[in-house]
Amino acid sequence: MKIREILVKSVLSRSKVFDYALNPYVGCQHGCTYCYARFMKRFTGHKEKWGEFVDVKINAPELLKKEIKRKRVGRVWISGVCDPYQPIERRYDLTGRCLKILLENGWPVTIQTKSPLVLRDLEILKKSMEVEVGFTITTADERIRRIFEPGAPPIKERIRALDRLHSEDIKTYAMIAPILPGSEGLVNGLKGVVDYVLIDRMNYHYADWVYRKYKMEWARKDEFFIQKGRELMALFEKKKIHCQLLF
């Protein structure tokens, strides 16, 4: 794993999903095989494989303090193209420090992660009414998880973290994206630990790659995603969990 400390010129970028995105790191140690963020390599010049490098934006908190003074308040997505609680965060605490700055200044935040390390910041999170925490969970089947998300924490740990956050009255959601085989097994586990669920398919380019590499027929079948998406919607609705299909 190649870790490099870097200085950046800004940290809050405009986002199509929320008002802003904040990525404390370039690269992600979780190294999910389907990760769309690997396109970043084109712009950063990294030669290493996705999942084997991280650039650490060590001046992010200092910059953020200045940027929030001159920018209009808006919801910040942490993060769009890295996991803000990937293992290196334990050492640098960049996400934790940025989160504190935003919440103490009344900025709304949406966190998206796969890591229970977010619980380290529970006390900061509990103080805000403007924060929500989402976990990406794509399947309930650990064997499938290990193929597609080799460096990310096990599914049970993610659900347990959601449970803890939810029990502290923090708004939580699950992002089932991309839908993988075994995702229907999540319905029971997510009951009572999330406020809502978002569901998305795998992008076409990657689905084709999955088919060629793993000979997984389902990946290149639109019907798989359409059918699974509808099935999941119905199952969540039956449990009275608000659910939205994004495709």
100 binds ligand SF4 (CB under 6 A): no
Binding mask 72-91 for ligand SF4 (x = CB under 6 A): ----------xx--------
Q: 35 or 161, CB closer to ligand SF4? A: 35
116 binds ligand SF4 (CB under 6 A): no
37 binds ligand SF4 (CB under 6 A): yes
CA quadruple 93, 44, 30, 55: dihedral sign: negative
Positions 123 through 152 that interact with ligand SF4 (CB under 6 A): 152
Q: 30 or 75, CB closer to ligand SF4? A: 30
Q: Binder to ligand SF4 among 21, 24, 26, 30 (CB under 6 A)?
A: 30
Distance, CA of 53 to CA of 247 (rounded, Å): 31
22 binds ligand SF4 (CB under 6 A): no
Of 30-38, 121-129, 184-192, 200-208, the segment contacting ligand SF4 by CB under 6 A is: 30-38
Q: Binder to ligand SF4 among 57, 100, 114, 158 (CB under 6 A)?
A: 114
Task: Name the burial class of residue 3, with classes exposed (0-12), middle (13-18) and buried (19+) by CB atoms within 10 angstroms of its CB.
Answer: middle
32 binds ligand SF4 (CB under 6 A): yes
- Chain centroid offset of residue 49 CA: 20
